[in-house]
Amino acid sequence: METVSTAKAFGGTQGVYRDASAATGTDMTFAVYVPDHAPGAKLPVVWYLSGLTCTHANVMDKGEYRRACAELGLIFVAPDTSPRGDGVPDDAEAAYDFGLGAGFYVDATQEPFAKNYRMWSYVTEELPALLAAEFPVDTARQSILGHSMGGHGALTIGLTYPDRYKAVSAFAPIVAPSEVPWGQKALPGYLGEDRAAWRKHDAVALIEDGARVADLLVDQGEADNFLAAQLQPERLEKACSDAGIKLTLRRQPGYDHSYFFISTFMADHLGWHAERLRK
């Protein structure tokens, strides 16, 4: 693991790191904030998955999480959203919603993406193992949250591994990618045309198929220009109601899809995670 940069913030260390990923076949860059802590202490970790077009840097620069993480004693990890580098395939027309910056947290099975686009394995297996080896992580206390495409990833990963992630939340997530244009482009592109293969990467479908968590927290801006066509939180609301999952869905008047929205409610989410990670 290579250290790209470190800086002191709120008594802790904000670092950026790079590692050669076996999952993606590329170098992957990620951000980790470690609050000040006693020597030898192991700290709970919150995973943050970013949205379309983002890298680790978007939330690191604009997410305003460090003060809360320092106060709550949380490690905060922000991976990239896709593999990058020479030879990594991209959308033929360089669209923002597929290819580079748009890995959708799946392991692709379709060529030419299958070799590199293995973000599910990277986020759920490889990077957690690296983090446990290199940072003071309490692997029994992990949680996950994300934004938009990353909210989709956080929900699907959290629902798939409910014993690993003690809390799951999202900002403006794509809750049912199988039913909206972003997902209907990405899922067949990465996974093929068999819609049955899409279901494990669709939060609503996972719940319909029996996946369960104790509760979920979702914030959604009512002025989000993607709300009606791409996000459709009412689908998650119905699925959770039918399944008996306690969903706290907060519709926030006037807020859009940006990091102005995310940063406003980031501390709320981290406090919610900390409460569950303490149990």
Q: Does the pLDDT value for residue 207 go beyond 90?
A: yes
How sure is the predictor about 94, in pLDDT bands with cuts at 50, 70 and 90?
confident
pLDDT (mean) for 38-56: 97
Give 141's pLDDT tier (boundaries 50, 70, 90): very high
112 pLDDT higher than 90: yes
Instruction: Say yes or no to pLDDT of 109 above 90.
Output: yes
* CATH code, domain with 270: 3.40.50.1820
Instruction: Decide: 193 and 185 in contact? Cβ < 8 Å.
Output: no
pLDDT of 191: 98
Beta strands per DSSP E along 95-192? 137-147, 165-171
For the chain, the average pLDDT equals 97
- Residue 279's pLDDT band, with cuts at 50, 70 and 90, is confident
Please tell me the predicted confidence (pLDDT) of residue 92. 84
What's residue 71's pLDDT?
98
Q: What is the pLDDT of residues 218-247, one digit of tens each?
A: 999 999 999 999 999 999 999 999 999 999
> Read out DSSP for 214-235?
SEEEEEEETT-TTIIIII-HHH
Domain of residue 239: give its range.
Answer: 2-278
**CB 43 within 8 Å of CB 34:** yes
Q: Where in the sequence numbering do the catalytic residues fall? A: 148, 224, 257
pLDDT above 90 for 93: no
Q: DSSP secondary structure string, the chain?
A: -EEEEEEEETTEEEEEEEEE-TTTSSEEEEEEEE----TT--EEEEEEE--TT--HHHHHHHS--HHHHHHHT-EEEE--SS--STT----TT--TTSBTTB-TT-B--STTTTTT-BHHHIIIIIHHHHHHHHS-EEEEEEEEEEETHHHHHHHHHHHH-TTTEEEEEEES----GGGSHHHHHHHHHHH-S-HHHHGGG-HHHHHHTT---SEEEEEEETT-TTIIIII-HHHHHHHHHHHT-EEEEEEETT--SSHHHHHHHHHHHHHHHHHHHT-
Number of domains in the chain: 1
Share of the chain above pLDDT 70, in %: 100
Rounded to 5°, the CA angle 88-93-94 comes to 50
**Residue 19, pLDDT score:** 97
